[in-house]
Structure 1
């Protein structure tokens, strides 16, 4: 038996339970991974945002035993990244309108069926039986795993498409209008952020759920709650006509987060969760990121002047996050020692939280980059005049800033030299944010060499090659 989703015209195998639908969606996402090539990339990119949206709808339909905000923040953060990717598609014009991926459409149909089924059988404000809390947690885990598998398939297809664009022979085989290489690479990096966020959520949950073990709800810590709330509200503020003061507040908060992440990374290294090499690599990448963020913050402070017109929710969540940071990493007016940090928090969970924060910070960096390119961005005349005066771009005879605007230090549209400077600084911060997020994760161990493999060079060359090549080691987070 099969029925048809009326909104999408997709035939879906009949399922009577939420569990069956979730497993069907997950199986379909795994099938996407078995068919990865450049030709599938445009259709998958078109459908990916709807996969994430359907997953978010199913997630929010599932009842919660605690505050909705803390529960929904994990999927909301991934959903916000998908919205940013959709905006990039609209602005870049690739992929053009066309048919979505059929496998992704089946996932969408099944996840929407889950949300419909849950809403018809359970009131949103109804109580949850104590013996059902494990099922609720498992359902959300299956949803996130389906989103992760589909996202990974999309990223791999985009990587194949990128390789085809750089090959003259393969490029000629691509159908339809092809995307610009820079645009495709930006899509890959943004989709990779969503993949990292979904993977971070599953680190504590997925193996047990896949085995069918009972999974009790993982209660978020103060740090995890503050990071999730900040990421969600900062992403929304940056897409809602932010002021330069808003941009500066986001950069300042991300800069504070990098300092705390470095402290937590040091404590994790002392606890043996990271090797000395991994801890050093993480702290070096964070130090470079801090330098790029500080350069951008200096410019934004100059352009905002004394303007303090912040979005209220942005200020509130920034203050909550800084409070959580101080509770963990501050000792009076200085940073706490590694021993003190390990006494205050579960260092493994704190490391996971800052790692996810660094991954989500890449999405915020991209949004800052988009805001810096916005032609409607308003800046203070004094700061714009100082930055434009250092530019080598030929300007109008009257200067980039009108004299009357300088006298009153008015808000003016950012002149071209200012937009150029912001574009360079935000791109640098984005690149360094990607490096810091990648450096925060452990390197997968290399497979052990088989016994007797330490032969001299000539003997080693004379050995017959193996019949099959060994599988390559698992890759770390993409950069």
Structure 2
């Protein structure tokens, strides 16, 4: 049974913005058709949320953004491109977040009950923050679709020189038209955001943090990830599992850093954990990157219950560790969670990290087939083969044929790549074990409020890892250009 979604409107919008950033970081040509198919749904859901918010501003930028997207969608239907196919998972989650937020707003502010005298100053600031977050999500998301479409057109131009058919290369001109409209969309959104982002976010209302929520979210995640990977160990679910666990390990480092600063945990123990925890962060990031490279909408979809559990983890962690525009101070983090809760939460996270590492390694070592798109297999395999000694003459070690690549069929992950996944899993088990064992003294060595000896310097805050799931993504600045402040 799927648990109820506990996230507030603000948390849903923050998560949508976060997912849009990840979509931009990972945008590539192969994802463009799915992104173009899903983008109109994202904008429509945002428009429904905008309409649900009371006291709409004038002029109404959302109507103009929606009109651009509707025109692009009608053109796609008329020209039959990109055609039918799977949606983009992250854009779909953004759309679902907008829809859920609209439902919450409608329940909070039914139309007959809305005040005719206008909102209070506090309500107006909160509404402005919600609208700003919504448009920023669309701005970043629209740019990610544009980047992916441009790369897709570039790939098709290269394919054109390989005697591809007209049906295969028709996306060159149609992709250019879509990019033009997305450029207009970005320009309009950036102009609206220019004087609002990120200052308007300071007016966002936040409920008082629930100190028990993070522990409950981690327990719920631990149970659900085991259930899902036992029944459906697909590339999508393995990617989501490793990405979320990387987020949890990152949060552990942030909590330890804050706890050591506020003398809530033993500084010597934190210093001892630091090196092991950084290695664990890197290993989870590496595993996440491998499964992300293998995932394709053609091969598998995210499990809905696992997706919701992951979203609750993100919301619960950010409620403790973040302010509207960035990472909270150690004082705030410690006060929100409670000093006595840091050590148990960290111990729980380190133990679940080791257990999940074993589960994932068992999946890759079992020999049971795991399906992936042949294009993804070919990319990873070619990199692996370049790192190995040349094969004897007449031996073809490449795991997929050209026909499978051109058709982008689904095939089992070959041993060449499973060996790489197996090695990554072994490293993950080793580093997670060291980190957990290093943290066994956290509960036994609580410092007094005023320690008699200087506290060793705590580990630095964790870096953003390549998988893009780190919690402390900085706000993007719209500037004067639709792509200012954004880079891949």
TM-score, with length taken from structure 2: 0.44
Structure showing greater relative contact order (alpha-carbon pairs closer than 8 Å, 6 or more residues apart): 2
TM-score, with length taken from structure 1: 0.45
